[in-house]
A = this chain, B = another copy of it.
Amino acid sequence: MAEEAYEDARSRLAEYLSRHGLKQTRQREAILDAFLDARGHVTSEDVYERVRQDHPDIGTATVYRTLKLLVDAGLANASTFREGVTVYESDTEHHDHLVCLGCGEIIEFECPSIEARQLEIANEHGYRLTRHRHHLFGYCGKCQRQGLDSR
């Protein structure tokens, strides 16, 4: 990710903080960096592990609180792939995923025709749509060859 993208995210967070009377701290900056560095999909624990390398004093509670803050600030999205674990992703990503049950690989996809149908379906039921979650589960080519797809 280019430096400029980091700067953009940082200033978006700064703006959100000041607009809401919240404070800018080294912890928040460190966690944002770790989140961006991680790329793609991460759990709170992933971020915590990354952050603690440079900032061993930062605790899990702060990571949880800050990740939630990033969601509120519109910089991240929260999702649930595995039961009982929240996965965060950068807000620029799509919300459609192809998940491998063997190795855990996650591929993002986008399909305009599906998006269009979603809107139609919502309208048919009188719904106004705010977001969606579309997960396809299966086995990637590699895992199929390794016989990890038994069932």
Contact = CB atoms under 8 A, between A and B. Distances in A.
Given A86-B83, A113-B113, A121-B111, A132 B137 contact: yes
Interface residues of A, number: 37
Stoichiometry, copies per complex = 2
Interface in A119-140: 121-122, 125-140
Interface in A87-117: 98, 100-101, 107, 109, 111, 113-114, 117
B149 A138 contact: no
Contacts of A139: 127-128, 130
A81 B150 CA distance: 27
A100 B121 CA distance: 13
